[in-house]
Amino acid sequence: MISKFLTELRFSTAIISGLLILVKIRLVTFITANDIERAIYSKERRVLYSIVHFIFNMIIISMFMIMMGDVFSDHPSWYRSWIAIFASIVVVLGYLFVFWMADKGITLKNVPQGKQRIWTALSLLLYAISCMFLPSYFVGTQLFDNVTNKSIEYDIVMFVFLFLISGLVVVLFKPLSKVFEFIVKKVVYIEVESAEGIKKWYLLHPLNKDEFLIGDHHQSFNCKKVKVIKKEELLNYDFNLHSTENL
């Protein structure tokens, strides 16, 4: 469907222009930036990173949902209300369970080995599948059912519809990534020798291209002391990473 989508639209000029833009802004490098690279981003660039990363996740998830939705649209008779209700219950209860685990800092590897870990893993997997299955199932069998002539307009409408829904799925997946430890948030700090001994100073954010704000806590609102450091001086120190789970 994607190849047909690109062929029928004849977006050759748009695609080339888009690729040139992606190369120019180095989107892949931007999305896959490590913790130290993100730590030296300006506030504006951090916001941009969050937005781009969110949209990138929406695109990936919507691709899977579009493929499933296209299959379901060919088989509207597959729709059963009890399946939709069951999937909805799994999503709601699953989110509450996953959010509780993420909030308590419980990861899958913290769950005792054996049947308990297996059942927890299966429950999380069922939740993840249901989050993508439910929108595709309902949209395909109820909104795009019995479409005999799947034109390019059909592809566009389904893409837009599921792409918008994918934003909610990304939100539902966020605590799941913490439980599976796909994302482990780390902070950057430097060690400075003083009369009191070696002291940790956490890198908060740049003030401008030449100055950075550092503090005695990784969260600015919890800092008791903050100070400004020149970029040239900062680069003389070794950067250290620390997981926020252990702070």
Whether residues 54 and 161 fall in one domain: yes
Domain of residue 223: give its range.
186-246
pTM of the model: 0.64
Q: Which of 37-41, 128-132, 153-157, 210-214 has the lowest mean pLDDT?
A: 37-41
Of 149, 179, 209, which residue sits at a domain end? 179
In the block, which residue shows the tokens 């299955």? 133
In a 3-state reduction of DSSP, which class is residue 186?
strand
**What is the mean predicted confidence (pLDDT) over 20-46?**
57
225: nearest Cα among 202, 197, 207:
202
Whether residues 165 and 217 fall in one domain: no
70: nearest Cα among 163, 1, 151:
1
**Nearest-10 Cα torsion for 19, 23, 25, 29:** 120
Q: For the chain, how many structural domains are there in total?
A: 2
Of 158, 179, 200, which residue sits at a domain end? 179
Whether residues 198 and 115 fall in one domain: no
Q: Is residue 27 over pLDDT 60?
A: no
Which residue type sits at 89?
Answer: I
What are the C-alpha distances in Å from 35 to residues 137, 170, 228, 233, 243? 38, 21, 21, 20, 10
Whether residues 230 and 163 fall in one domain: no
Which pLDDT value is given to residue 13? 46
Whether residues 160 and 40 fall in one domain: yes
Which pLDDT value is given to residue 1? 47
Whether residues 123 and 26 fall in one domain: yes
Contact of 75 with 146, CB cutoff 8 Å: no
Whether residues 149 and 73 fall in one domain: yes
Which pLDDT value is given to residue 38? 63
Whether residues 15 and 95 fall in one domain: yes
Helix (H) or strand (E) run with residue 189 in it: strand 186-194
Whether residues 173 and 53 fall in one domain: yes
Q: Crossing angle of helices 2-9/152-179, nearest 10°?
A: 130
Of 128, 147, 179, which residue sits at a domain end? 179
pLDDT band at 159 (very low <50, low <70, confident <90, very high): confident
Whether residues 12 and 35 fall in one domain: yes
Q: Which two tokens stand for residue 121?
A: 């893993």
Q: Is the dihedral of CA 154, 159, 164, 169 positive or negative?
A: positive
Q: Crossing angle of helices 115-138/81-103, nearest 10°?
A: 130
Whether residues 195 and 232 fall in one domain: yes
105: nearest Cα among 244, 217, 216, 12:
244
Whether residues 134 and 15 fall in one domain: yes
Find the radius of gyration of the CA atoms of the chain.
23
